[in-house]
Amino acid sequence: MPQLAEAPGPALRPNWSINPYQPALAHIVRVHRMVPNNHLFTLRFADRHQVETFRHAPGQFVMLSVPAAGEAPISISSSPTRPQVLELCVRRVGRVTNALYRLRSSDVVGLRGPYGNGFPVDRLAGNDLLLVAGGLGMAPLRSLLWYALDLRERFQAITLLYGARTPADMLFRDELVSLADRPDINCLLTVDRDPQGDWTQHVGLLPALFDHVEVDPARTFAAVCGPPVVFRLALERLLALGFSKDRILMSLERRMKCGIGMCGHCSVGYKYTCLHGPIFTYWDAINLPELV
């Protein structure tokens, strides 16, 4: 039985200048009412130094505080290649997010982070990227999408498969539809239903989009995010295509109260979503019960 490695209590050094729970003040710059109950909030730190120095990796998240309401983990939807502000796609679903929806431009929120491992962008470089998103799963993948498009020469072929229930439910719809014209990305968008009848892209379930793409699993990394059903179906397709379990990356969501591996809520098996994730390989997922 190994003994505890480090010196005990008295060696702990409380340092209040790096209190990991301390939210930094930030202002709402803009609220884009992208989809009902799924707005895109653009935030900027109040402190200039922080605006200049904050750096995140695609796939990381922040803990967002709304005064008098609480704190919640939110993935960063903007790419680190576009600094100065942070874009958070927030679904109105709980106490904190409901309070956020009552705020307007220039109102104050709190931010701390970034947390989590993020996508291993250095490992992804030089490979093809296949992004697979369902519903809200586009929120964390959009950071990786624009990272790859802004640093286009670092990656080979880029493919995006994104499915939403209806065109009105599609996150970043205008932006993504305009990508259809770009020659350097294969952007396939689908909706389950098209009630208005004015949708010009695919209609049908997300997995059907796999029939329209050709990928070489040996030189491709897949990044998947969405509700559990999307994980199940996408994984099925990716494995059938011959993807190695190490080349399938999944962005997961868990309840979190701290973001730094202490509060226990995001624990899956022997890992914490906040510290060891939220990006896991499918191999991790197989070895961590309850992960998907």
Partner 1 sequence: MKTLILPKEHLDFFGSVLQQFGELHGPVAHGEQFVFRRLNRWSEIRLDYTRTILPPKKYFLPPRERLFRYRRGAGWVPETADLERRIVLFGVHACDIYGLNILDQVFGGRYCDPYFATRRRHIAVIGVDCTPDEHCFCRSMRADFVSQGFDLFLQDLGDRYLTFVGTALGDDMVLATQGLFGDVTPVDIEEYKRRSAERRGAFRLEAEIRDLPEIFEMEYQSGLWEELGERCLGCGACSMVCPTCYCYDVADEVELGSGDSARTRTWDSCLFVDHALVAGGENFRASRASRVKFRFYHKQRGFVAQYGRPSCVGCGRCIEACPAGIDIIAVIARLREVDHAATC
Q: Which residues here bind partner 1, judged by CB under 8 A? A: 1-16, 18-23, 25, 65, 67-72, 91, 93-94, 97, 108, 110, 227-228, 253-255, 257-258, 260-265, 267-271, 275, 289-290
Give DSSP secondary structure letters for 157-181.
-EEEEEEESSGGG-TTHHHHHHHTT
**Residue with Cβ nearer partner 1 (108 or 218):** 108
Give the Å distances, CA to CA, from 91 to 129, 229, 284. Answer: 26, 19, 27
Kindly tell me which of 110 and 120 has the beta carbon lying closer to partner 1. 110
Q: For residues 181 and 290, which CB has a smaller minimum distance to partner 1 in the complex?
A: 290
Residue 119 near residue 57 (C-beta atoms within 8 A): yes
CA angle 246/214/174 to nearest 5° reads 95
**Cis amide bond preceding 20, omega within 30:** no
Least Å from the CB of residue 207 to partner 1: 20
- Please choose, from the candidates 46, 37, 80, 79, the residue with its C-alpha nearest in 3D space to the C-alpha of residue 65: 46
Q: How far is the CB of 84 from partner 1 (least distance, A)?
A: 21
Q: Cα–Cα distance between 240 and 30 in angstroms, integer?
A: 43
Smallest distance from partner 1 to CB 119, Å: 20
Whichever of 92 and 154 has its CB closer to partner 1, that residue is: 92
| Beta carbon of residue 128, minimum distance to partner 1 (angstroms, whole number) | 31
In this complex, which beta carbon is closest to partner 1, that of residue 63 or of residue 187? Answer: 63
| Chain centre distance of CA 5 | 34
Smallest gap from Cβ 226 to partner 1, in A, equals: 12
